[in-house]
Amino acid sequence: MHISRRNLLLAGCVLFAGCDGGEGTLSPAPQPPPAPPPPAPVTLNFSFADGLAGWEANYADYTLGQENSIGFSFGHERLPPPLATTLGFFLSGNNASDDLFMYISRRLDGLAANTRYRVDTSITFATNAARNCAGVGGQPGESVFIKAGAADSAPAKVVQNGNYVTVDVDKGQQGNSGAELVIIGNFAQDTPGDCLNPEYRRKTLSSGGNGPVVTSDSGGRLWLVIGTESGFESVTRIYYLNGSITLTPV
């Protein structure tokens, strides 16, 4: 049987998905969609000049039955002289447990879901603890550690070993950082003062890019936490004034 040259060309066109004017063309391979842009950093600026600004106060690390001895209190009030023109968010407690943790917390919405963020905190507060002063069990300034960070759920008290009340945030113990809260400094004033007649002074501390890395929940939320953990076995009264927290995706 004789097959013409034209028939051979037509057969080739069918085999190679068609011809156009005697020349074959191939469709370009589909390209994947572009990757979504990474989440942007988020910064929360806050001030306690006019109220609690959505933050809540609580305490932990004590034995059941010590509540009255601790006498924990908090609120919004004018500071003592010489800062009497300033208002702040105070927390006060007697460290009857030798490990008292007093903290403020608030929820932050609008983050990317299930995303790792580095949480960097800057906080300005007022302290009446002069430097290098003797105290019961520890120094009133250097033995009170300031910790900051965040958790993926609202901080809640839990009872361990039947009677020890702590909080379900990984904050470390005393002078050690945890996975969710890190030490950013202590309660001692920056400049020398009078140990016998202390007065309140402002102090600012920052994690300086060394904040903890935590993962937001499925709703794009984290709970910010700032607190004092004390080895000073007497009363600590701190006034939080203002601050900022930056969450950077990592």
Q: Is residue 205 part of a domain?
A: yes
* Integer Cα distance of 165 and 185 in angstroms: 25
Q: What is the pLDDT of residue 23?
A: 53
Contact predicate 192/98, CB 8 Å:
no
Q: Is residue 237 part of a domain?
A: yes
* Integer Cα distance of 200 and 189 in angstroms: 9
User: What value does the mean pLDDT take over residues 180-208?
Assistant: 97
Q: Is residue 122 part of a domain?
A: yes
Identify the burial level of 172 via C-beta atoms within 10 angstroms of its C-beta, where 0-12 means exposed, 13-18 middle and 19 or more buried. middle
Residues 10-56: tens digit of each pLDDT = 344 434 344 444 455 677 888 888 877 889 999 999 999 999 999 99
Q: Is residue 94 part of a domain?
A: yes
* Amino acid identity for residue 191 in this structure: T
Q: Is residue 145 part of a domain?
A: yes
Q: What is the pLDDT of residue 24?
A: 59
The total domain count for the chain is 1
The whole domain housing 156 covers 39-249
Coil, helix or strand for 22? coil
pLDDT reading at 7 higher than 90: no
At residue 1 the predicted structure's pLDDT band, cuts being 50, 70 and 90, is very low
Rounded CA Rg of the chain: 30
State the chain's mean pLDDT as an integer.
Answer: 91
Phi-psi region of 75 (alpha: psi -120 to 50; beta: other; left: phi over 0): left
Contact predicate 107/221, CB 8 Å:
yes
Which residue has 């901080």 as its token pair?
155
CA geometry: angle at 129 spanning 127 and 134, to 5°? Answer: 165
Contact predicate 228/91, CB 8 Å:
yes
Contact predicate 225/169, CB 8 Å:
yes
Q: Is residue 2 part of a domain?
A: no
Q: What is the pLDDT of residue 6?
A: 46
Q: Is residue 25 part of a domain?
A: no
CATH number at 171 reads 2.60.120.260
Q: Is residue 3 part of a domain?
A: no
Report H helices in the chain. Answer: 5-15, 67-70
Output the CA torsion sign for 104, 108, 114, 115.
negative
